[in-house]
Amino acid sequence: MSGVKKMQQDDYQQMFDLAQYAFQVPANTASRERIEYLADHSVNYGSFEGDNLASQVMMTPFHVNFFGQKHRMAGVGFVSSDPSFRGGGRIDEIMKQLLNDCRENGVLFSYLAPFSYPFYRRYGYELIFERVSYQIPSHAWPKSTIKTTGSVRRVNWEQAKEALQSIYAKVMEKEEGYLIREDWWTYYRLELNRSNYFAIYYDENNEAKGYLVYQINQGVFTCIEWQYLTKGAKESLNRYISSHIDSVKEFKYEQAFKQSTPFFETATPLSNVSIRPEMMVKIVDVEAFLKIYPFEGLQQSFAIEIESDVYGPWNQGIYEIQASNEGTITINKVEQTTLPKLTTSIQRFTQLFLGYKTVEELLFHEFLEVDTEAIELIESILPKKSPILEDYF
């Protein structure tokens, strides 16, 4: 094993060949174009055996929203190894360098889509995002009966892209954890897939208030993304979807799970609905995270101990969160503390302080220890909404 290097365009052929083999990506021009486009916007880590690419990880720089703030995030994807060279700890070495690079460059979070949850927990990642999926016979799709003004128009990418960016940003304003989409990423996600259609809802003032990205293949209508700012936009786009009932046999729709579904008000609740775990998150630097965390209203000091983080050893230790009478918060990493303390792993710390799980849930499953006097205190400063993510990489 000759170490980890950051790959350039000269390595793209080997990168594509390995991704094609590992993920059964179609060996065609369109697939190559997508992977090379993403590689151009990423930092590409490779481990070589001589001149042969043995393992690779693609790290794409993004920004995400937490607590009304924009933060740097590393999206990890295309984690793959040639079976001829497996067993040498190559992915471990890449992830160690990647996470260290993230910390040195002020990247606060890392997201990834796991092929194995236990595998990525070893690096300090944990489940944060869930997704809800609907698979509905066309005759059972909930129809809109409310009359609306405005209109829905099917448009091309050039006509759609500005509305897609604007509406998505407005929909997400009150959410946590979402990707702040740059133009290049929206193009990659929604247009570089050449089979997508676009429909925009315009209100009576000809202002775009909702959109639908979808595909129709072999009698199946798939909603790729459906966003709306008003009730009228939702109902009009739903009526647009319903207009395909006689021409397709089935509708499919997935979205980030927000602890509720968009069909709760329908006369007949949908029965074929599934919720699945999806992407994982790692807080790269706990101390930096605590310094931006909104400890609003904190009246009493407490401490947090991160027991272990093998691939982020800088996170291990005790952090005192000191609350002053003036309302200021000070974060200090210490060797020991007399403050009421919460003790847990980096994974459960992430779930707790990003709003995915509660103190009560994690205590029940014995995933953390906490002094009794700190329970109510910690619960009072935790996020009130679960994070959501519409993107995948």
DSSP state of 142: P
Which tokens belong to 164?
Answer: 């897609």
262 shares a domain with 136: yes
Q: What is the pLDDT of residue 273?
A: 82
Q: Domain boundary at 246, 277, 308, which?
A: 277
Domain assignment of residue 183, given as a range:
132-277
338 shares a domain with 216: no
Distant-in-sequence, close-in-space partners of 372: CB < 8 Å, separation ≥ 6: none
Is residue 45 within 8 Å of 6, Cβ to Cβ?
yes
341 shares a domain with 363: yes
The CA distance from 94 to 373, in Å, is: 42
Question: Average pLDDT of 87-99?
Answer: 94
Q: Is residue 96 domain-resident?
A: yes
Please state the φ and ψ torsions of residue 208, each to the nearest 5 degrees.
-70, 125
Q: What is the pLDDT of residue 362?
A: 97
How does the average pLDDT of the chain come out, rounded?
94
HSE-up of residue 100 (Cα within 13 Å, Cβ side)? 11
165 shares a domain with 72: no
Q: Domain boundary at 247, 277, 307, which?
A: 277
Q: Domain boundary at 243, 277, 311, which?
A: 277
Q: Strand pairing partners for 330?
A: 322
Q: With CA atoms as reference, report the closest residue to 213 among 171, 262, 172, 163.
A: 163
Q: Strand pairing partners for 214?
A: 197, 223
Is residue 175 within 8 Å of 66, Cβ to Cβ?
no
287 shares a domain with 272: no
Q: Is residue 186 domain-resident?
A: yes
Question: Average pLDDT of 2-31?
Answer: 91
138 shares a domain with 34: no
pLDDT higher than threshold 80 for residue 269 = no
98 shares a domain with 223: no
Which tokens belong to 342?
Answer: 């919460």
Q: Is residue 152 domain-resident?
A: yes
pLDDT band at residue 297 under the 50/70/90 scheme: confident
21 shares a domain with 142: no
Q: With CA atoms as reference, report the closest residue to 386 among 347, 359, 353.
A: 353
Q: What is the pTM of this model?
A: 0.93
Q: Is residue 286 domain-resident?
A: yes
Q: Is residue 390 domain-resident?
A: no
CA distances (Å), origin 83, targets 22, 95, 112, 136:
9, 18, 22, 39
pLDDT band at residue 262 under the 50/70/90 scheme: low
Burial (CB < 10 A; 0-12, 13-18, 19+), residue 173, is exposed
Question: Average pLDDT of 372-377?
Answer: 94
291 shares a domain with 255: no
177 shares a domain with 49: no
Determine which helix (DSSP H) or strand (DSSP E) holds 127, and give its type and residue range: strand 126-127
pLDDT higher than threshold 90 for residue 92 = yes
Q: What is the pLDDT of residue 3?
A: 84
Tally of domains in the chain? 3
pLDDT higher than threshold 60 for residue 1 = no
287 shares a domain with 270: no
Q: Is residue 345 domain-resident?
A: yes
Is residue 350 within 8 Å of 283, Cβ to Cβ?
yes
Q: What is the pLDDT of residue 270?
A: 63
Is residue 237 within 8 Å of 163, Cβ to Cβ?
no
Strands 250-256 and 130-137: antiparallel
The CA distance from 311 to 102, in Å, is: 12
Question: Average pLDDT of 177-202?
Answer: 95
Q: Is residue 198 domain-resident?
A: yes
pLDDT band at residue 184 under the 50/70/90 scheme: very high
Domain containing residue 16: CATH number:
3.40.630.30
Question: Average pLDDT of 169-183?
Answer: 97
pLDDT band at residue 353 under the 50/70/90 scheme: very high
Of all residues in the chain, what percent carry a pLDDT higher than 70?
96
94 shares a domain with 191: no
- What is the full DSSP assignment across 276-290? EE--EEEES-HHHHH
Q: What radius of gyration, in Å, describes the C-alpha atoms of the chain?
A: 23
Domain containing residue 309: CATH number:
3.30.1050.10
Give tens-digit pLDDT for 113-122.
999 999 999 9
Q: Is residue 118 domain-resident?
A: no
Give tens-digit pLDDT for 270-289.
667 889 999 999 999 999 99
